Amino acid sequence: MARSFFIGLTALSAIVLSQAASAQPAAEFYKNRHIDLVVATTPGGGYDVMARIFARHMPRFLPGNPSIVVKNVPGAGGISAANNLYSVAPKDGSVFAAELQGVAFQPLFGEKAARYDATKFTWIGNANSEIGTFFVWHTSPVKTVADLKARDIPAAATDGGSATAFNYRVLNNLLGTKIKIVTGYPGSNESFLALERGEVEGFFSVWSTVRARGNLIKDKQVRVIVQIALDKASDLPDVPLASEFVKDKIDREALDLAVAPGALGRPYIAPPDIPADRAKALRDAFVSSAKDPDFLGEIQKAGLEVSNVMSGEDALALLKRFYSASPEAIAKVSAMTKG
């Protein structure tokens, strides 16, 4: 009986301590604490580097001035980290994650491994909206979308299930282009080399990546044919959006849904149901960091870009807009995700 009483008392104490921690104001909770920032990639890539820069600067804008420790949890294209964040990680504001752009849409497209509701995460913010571009090497005779519809264009991809191949299928299915997917290239470096060697004529990449390769633009080595995004890049005013060539209502809706991951290109999320004041503290610190000159200086030195920064509330509102797409549009995009 005494043992049962002790066990019951211990359980009650744990509940009381948990409730007390939940009731702590944000400044008190974060004082002398460290926060885990989970990065859903291996170290060294763009997502990881950007997250580490956020980790260095966000503490200055958080009440209690906590430290932020980066932990890499790669796997299943970011789904592993999202599953853990949703079901296992503490819901007290002590952990958040830098996720991959497509992760929020995997449940919508029927991915069974994605065991989370993306609309229930605590959205901290979005650091960048990516603009997809399809371009050809300067020696290609292709100059317009009409040319893409008139002849077969070999284009580089990693494999049939890659984001690059998905965007080729989007153009082929919704615009009627004749892009031939040539797989086997490990990454963008090899794909750009394939363009130079004449192995392929075209390639899909986000505009920030193309722009970072200054020689491609300066020397006019590539010709951008179409932008695959919700809005145009400010420095590509004369290159049409894919949506300009899609008239059918369901196809237009499907195209918007297909480009949605790019609109939420660098999402930062936390577990569901964290205390409201801590969610606000993380969101405010994220946005303040993204505007800070010292932070932006580090981003520039790293060759990265922060643009079209969204608050957590705005990012979640945009996500919910995409999730309200018609079943017909969702089915079309789901079919195009299959390699």
- Reply yes or no on whether the pLDDT at 18 is more than 50: no
For residues 101 and 203, the model is more confident at 203
Q: Are residues 244 and 275 in the same domain?
A: no
Place of tokens 């899609």: 246
For residues 302 and 338, the model is more confident at 302
* Contact of 136 with 202, CB cutoff 8 Å: yes
Residue of 309, 134, 299 lying closest to 204 (CA atoms):
134
Alpha-carbon distances of 276 from 29, 92, 158, 280, rounded to whole Å? 13, 10, 42, 6
pLDDT tens, residue by residue, 115-141: 999 999 999 999 998 899 999 999 999
* SS3 assignment, position 217: helix
Q: Residue 16 sits in which domain range?
A: 2-129+264-324
pLDDT reported for residue 22? 59
pLDDT reported for residue 271? 98
Q: Note whether residue 333 is domain-resident.
A: no
The C-alpha atoms of residue 117 and residue 125 are separated, in whole angstroms, by 17
CA 87 from centroid of its chain's CA atoms: 20
pLDDT reported for residue 307? 83
Q: Are residues 119 and 165 in the same domain?
A: no
Q: Note whether residue 331 is domain-resident.
A: no
Of the residues 206, 232, 261, which one is the last residue of a structural domain?
A: 261
pLDDT tens, residue by residue, 140-191: 999 999 999 999 999 999 887 778 898 999 999 999 999 999 999 888 889 9
CA torsion sign, 289 to 291 to 296 to 297?
negative
CATH code, 277: 3.40.190.150
Q: Are residues 22 and 169 in the same domain?
A: no
pLDDT reported for residue 176? 97
> CA angle 217-222-225, nearest 5°?
110
Q: Note whether residue 61 is domain-resident.
A: yes
Give the mean model confidence (pLDDT) for residues 248-263: 94
Q: Are residues 115 and 223 in the same domain?
A: no
Q: Are residues 118 and 139 in the same domain?
A: no
Q: Note whether residue 334 is domain-resident.
A: no
Q: Note whether residue 275 is domain-resident.
A: yes
pLDDT tens, residue by residue, 33-69: 999 999 998 898 888 999 999 999 999 999 999 999 9
* Contact of 141 with 306, CB cutoff 8 Å: no
- Reply yes or no on whether the pLDDT at 8 is more than 90: no
Q: Which residues contact 20 (CB under 8 A, 6 or more apart)?
A: none
* Contact of 125 with 271, CB cutoff 8 Å: no
Q: Note whether residue 120 is domain-resident.
A: yes
Can you spell out the DSSP letters for 278-333?
HHHHHHHHHHHHHH-HHHHHHHHHTT---BS-EEHHHHHHHHHHHHT--HHHHHHH
Taking each continuous run of H as one helix and of E as one strand, the counts in the chain are 14, 11
Q: Which residues contact 156 (CB under 8 A, 6 or more apart)?
A: 164, 182, 185, 190, 191, 194, 195, 199, 200, 202, 203
Q: Are residues 238 and 310 in the same domain?
A: no
Q: Are residues 9 and 48 in the same domain?
A: yes
Q: Note whether residue 91 is domain-resident.
A: yes
Q: Are residues 254 and 271 in the same domain?
A: no
* Contact of 167 with 91, CB cutoff 8 Å: no
Q: Are residues 177 and 244 in the same domain?
A: yes
pLDDT reported for residue 73? 94
Q: Are residues 60 and 138 in the same domain?
A: no
* Contact of 222 with 210, CB cutoff 8 Å: yes
pLDDT tens, residue by residue, 276-317: 999 999 999 999 999 999 999 999 998 888 988 999 999 999
pLDDT reported for residue 144? 98
* Contact of 128 with 46, CB cutoff 8 Å: no
Q: What is the mean pLDDT of the chain?
A: 91
pLDDT reported for residue 5? 46
Q: Are residues 125 and 271 in the same domain?
A: yes
- Reply yes or no on whether the pLDDT at 10 is more than 70: no
- Reply yes or no on whether the pLDDT at 13 is more than 90: no
pLDDT reported for residue 258? 93
HSE-up (13 A, CA, CB side) for residue 254: 26
pLDDT reported for residue 187? 80
Q: Note whether residue 338 is domain-resident.
A: no
CATH code, 226: 3.40.190.10
Q: Are residues 245 and 219 in the same domain?
A: yes
Of the residues 261, 296, 315, which one is the last residue of a structural domain?
A: 261
Number of structural domains in the chain: 2
